[in-house]
């Protein structure tokens, strides 16, 4: 993890794609790099990944070699990160593969639609569809939802929509450095700018992705920036960030908002880590420790 | 709280007292300022403070007007902060007054001895003495220990000593931005330097106070920097910091260390706050919210 902390700034913050084709080229390049790493990680962790379609939404069923007896009725929904444009298709399964391997849960990873072809609300529609379908076969108390970055934000907007549609809440959620505010609000957007070596700055590429996703909608719309939504009635939650994370403020503001709404939300912050670096190296002891914490949290709070 | 966040850097980080007399003058000036504020705060919150002596150690009994029935058998030990030199006598009771007023607990605030006259281990000896005496009349499951900054660190060293002496652990502890490492180790000592407007930097005055306190002992001695101690068997803990806190890393490293030792430790981080700013303005909504969180924590974890 020290090597990741010491790495130079990711130069992609300077990217400024102008056309749909340029966006797709940026996304494709990143996806190929992830796809090249995935088979080795799956093999090391003993995880199987199968594509599927759920009520018309593409998804992947991510299964560890062994599922503990108390996890057999449980399912986790995974909403991948990637600033709302990265990680299409199988490249979006990385976090789910890590979670399945380290934590021993069956996972449904949603391959939600993304810009430039499908801006808001396509991703939200897809996530809610998969959640609704899951509830047809699974008790909500057996269901956990997790995701990092854009995926953590999408988890929150999914629950806001579920509330509005009178769907039951899941048993627990895990939000990793969730992008709950797309406006430039939050202390660490300023104090950790040019220090977080993953996101680097809210300006530049990140701001471009936010505008591309929002597609003209107000960035303060709670369906886009769920920190502005009403989280009363949410299930118990665990939130994760790092001391150098550009979204440390997004995370602690969401934690406070959940606590203020009476939700039993807990927080973990990792020393020296930039945005979601707990997913970057599956050999790092901190990666296992992170997944162990989340696994324990779901184990305590989901119905067996 | 926004006004506190926007305040300029506390210029005292440049102070460099050279003689015991110069140290005492710095301490006295700060104490007088706090003493001037205390009567108004006590009156507003309805808190009574009486000096006492416990097995030779000076202390204050801090009592709210009303103690809830479920708190009548409970007592909180308070170890004040102030970089191990500030807040002698009644000026050390501020945090205890706030806690008594907001949370409704009876509190024993330890007026432990400090440098320049009494360096390490005087403060630790005094804290352990009061804890040992408290156990003679109170079930340890009814006892909580709390403190911020140097007081949070002293709470941890007190428990390390209690373990070594086979004293039982208290029911719960609350550590506010604890100075658990006096060496210059920790990410935010660097990333939040000149940003935290309370402590400002680990260098300068803070380093001088650490050396004055340690009095020639190794700063890595766990009795001085308890992050290097063995915290297995510690009671459940709540830790608090802010995104601009110079000791954010001290706090999250201690949280991780407790979790890794199997301790049920939880964490709360406040948006934009520098070191222990949750104690600075008792009118701020965040101050009440902070004390409400700690009160709820003790209420859940101490035996009624």
Q: Tens of pLDDT along B231-290?
A: 999 999 999 999 999 999 999 999 999 999 999 999 999 999 999 999 999 999 999 999
Question: What pLDDT is stored for residue B140 in this prediction?
Answer: 98
Question: What pLDDT is stored for residue A219 in this prediction?
Answer: 98
SS3 (DSSP) at B178: coil
Please give the share of chain A, as a percent, with pLDDT higher than 70: 100
3-state helix, strand, coil in chain B (%, to 5): 45, 15, 40
* Best CA proximity match to A107, nearest among A153, A140, A74: A74
Minimal CA separation from A259 to chain B, in Å: 9
Mutate to test the interface with A, among B4, B185, B187 (most CBs of A within 10 A): B187
Tell how strand A57-64 and strand A107-110 pair up.
Answer: antiparallel
Distances in whole angstroms, Cα of residue B274 to Cα of each of A29, A253, B292: 41, 15, 20
Question: What pLDDT is stored for residue A241 in this prediction?
Answer: 98
Q: Rg of chain B over CA atoms, in angstroms?
A: 17
- A257 touching B, CB under 8 A? no
Quickly state the pLDDT bin for B304 (edges 50, 70, 90): very high
Closest residue to A249, CB basis, from B186, B243, B259: B243
Minimal CA separation from B302 to chain A, in Å: 18
By the 10 Å C-beta count (0-12 exposed, 13-18 middle, 19+ buried), B279 is classed as buried
Question: What pLDDT is stored for residue A143 in this prediction?
Answer: 98
Does B293 sit within 8 Å of A271, measured CB to CB? no
- B141 touching A, CB under 8 A? no
Q: What would the mean pLDDT of A287-301 be, rounded to a whole number?
A: 97
- A253 touching B, CB under 8 A? yes
* Best CA proximity match to B108, nearest among B85, B138, B83: B138
Sheet containing B143-148: give its strands across: B47-54, B57-64, B107-110, B75-79, B143-148, B172-176, B236-242, B265-270
Question: What pLDDT is stored for residue A153 in this prediction?
Answer: 98
Closest residue to B271, CB basis, from A192, A256, A293: A256
Q: Write down the H helix ranges in A2-119.
A: 2-6, 20-45, 94-103
Instruction: Give the chain A residue whose CA is nearest to the CA of B253.
Output: A271
Chain B residues touching A249 at Cβ < 8 A: 243, 271-272
Question: What pLDDT is stored for residue A295 in this prediction?
Answer: 96
| Residue B249: CB atoms within 10 Å | 24
CB distance B158 to B164 below 8 Å: no
CB distance A145 to A131 below 8 Å: yes
- A139 touching B, CB under 8 A? no
CA A247 to chain centroid: 13
Residues in chain A: 304
Chain A residues touching B191 at Cβ < 8 A: 191-192, 195, 243-244
Question: Strands, E, within chain A: which ranges?
Answer: 47-54, 57-64, 75-79, 107-110, 143-148, 172-176, 236-242, 265-270
- A249 touching B, CB under 8 A? yes
Q: What would the mean pLDDT of A191-219 be, rounded to a whole number?
A: 97
Could you tell me the two tokens for A96? 């789910």
Residue A273 to residue A197: CA distance in whole angstroms: 9
- B266 touching A, CB under 8 A? yes
Give A235's DSSP letter.
P
Quickly state the pLDDT bin for A187 (edges 50, 70, 90): very high
pTM of the shown model = 0.97
Chain A residues touching B255 at Cβ < 8 A: 268-269
Averaged confidence pLDDT in chain B: 97
Quickly state the pLDDT bin for A104 (edges 50, 70, 90): very high
Question: Strands, E, within A137-262: which ranges?
Answer: 143-148, 172-176, 236-242
Question: What pLDDT is stored for residue A280 in this prediction?
Answer: 94
Does A187 sit within 8 Å of B272, measured CB to CB? yes
- B257 touching A, CB under 8 A? no
- B149 touching A, CB under 8 A? no
How does pLDDT run across A239-268, given as a tens digit for each residue? Answer: 999 999 999 999 999 999 999 999 999 999
CB distance A116 to A81 below 8 Å: no
Question: What pLDDT is stored for residue A276 in this prediction?
Answer: 97
Residue B304 to residue B302: CA distance in whole angstroms: 6
Chain A residues touching B272 at Cβ < 8 A: 187, 249
Quickly state the pLDDT bin for A87 (edges 50, 70, 90): very high
- A192 touching B, CB under 8 A? yes
Residue B25 to residue A28: CA distance in whole angstroms: 65
A166: CB partners within 8 A, 6+ apart: none
Closest residue to B252, CB basis, from A192, A260, A271: A271
Q: What would the mean pLDDT of B192-199 be, rounded to a whole number?
A: 98
Residue A85 to residue A106: CA distance in whole angstroms: 25
Q: What would the mean pLDDT of B116-129 be, rounded to a whole number?
A: 98
Closest residue to B191, CB basis, from A244, A253, A260: A244
Domains of chain A from N-terminus onward = 2-301 (3.40.50.1820)
Could you tell me the two tokens for B24? 């005492």
- A248 touching B, CB under 8 A? yes
Does B249 sit within 8 Å of A271, measured CB to CB? yes
Which of A125-129, B67-71, B231-235 comes out lowest in average pLDDT? B67-71
Sheet containing A172-176: give its strands across: A47-54, A57-64, A107-110, A75-79, A143-148, A172-176, A236-242, A265-270
Quickly state the pLDDT bin for A294 (edges 50, 70, 90): very high
Q: What would the mean pLDDT of A63-89 be, rounded to a whole number?
A: 96
Closest residue to A252, CB basis, from B192, B271, B289: B271
Give backbone dihedrals phi and psi of A174, rounded to 5 degrees, phi first: -130, 120
Q: Residue holding tokens 């979790």?
A: B259
């Amino acid at each position: 993890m020290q090597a990741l902390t010491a790495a130079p700034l990711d130069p992609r913050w300077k990217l400024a794609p102008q056309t749909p084709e340029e966006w797709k080229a940026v996304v494709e390049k990143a996806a190929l790099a992830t796809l090249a790493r995935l088979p080795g990680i799956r093999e090391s962790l003993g995880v199987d990944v199968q594509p599927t379609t759920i009520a018309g939404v593409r998804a992947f069923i991510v299964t560890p070699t062994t599922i503990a007896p108390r996890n057999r009725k449980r399912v986790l929904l995974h909403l991948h990160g990637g600033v709302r444009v990265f990680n299409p298709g199988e490249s979006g399964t990385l976090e789910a593969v890590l979670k399945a391997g380290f934590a021993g849960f069956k996972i449904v990873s949603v391959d939600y639609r993304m810009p430039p072809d499908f801006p808001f609300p396509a991703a939200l529609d897809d996530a809610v569809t998969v959640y609704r379908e899951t509830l047809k076969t699974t008790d909500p108390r057996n269901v956990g939802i997790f995701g990092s970055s854009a995926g953590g934000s999408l988890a929150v907007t999914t629950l806001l929509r579920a509330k509005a549609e009178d769907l039951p809440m899941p048993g627990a959620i895990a939000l990793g450095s969730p992008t709950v505010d797309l406006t430039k609000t939050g202390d660490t957007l300023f104090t950790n700018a040019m220090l977080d070596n993953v996101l680097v700055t809210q300006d530049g590429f990140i701001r471009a992705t936010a505008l591309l996703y929002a597609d003209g909608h107000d960035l303060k719309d709670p369906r886009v920036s769920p920190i502005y939504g009403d989280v009363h009635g949410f299930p118990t939650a665990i939130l994760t960030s790092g001391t150098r994370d550009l979204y440390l403020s997004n995370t602690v503001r969401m934690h406070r908002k959940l606590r203020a709404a009476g939700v039993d939300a807990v927080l973990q912050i990792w020393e020296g880590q930039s945005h979601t670096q707990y997913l970057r190296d599956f050999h790092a002891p901190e990666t296992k420790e992170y997944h162990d914490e989340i696994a324990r949290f779901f184990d305590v709070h989901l119905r067996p």
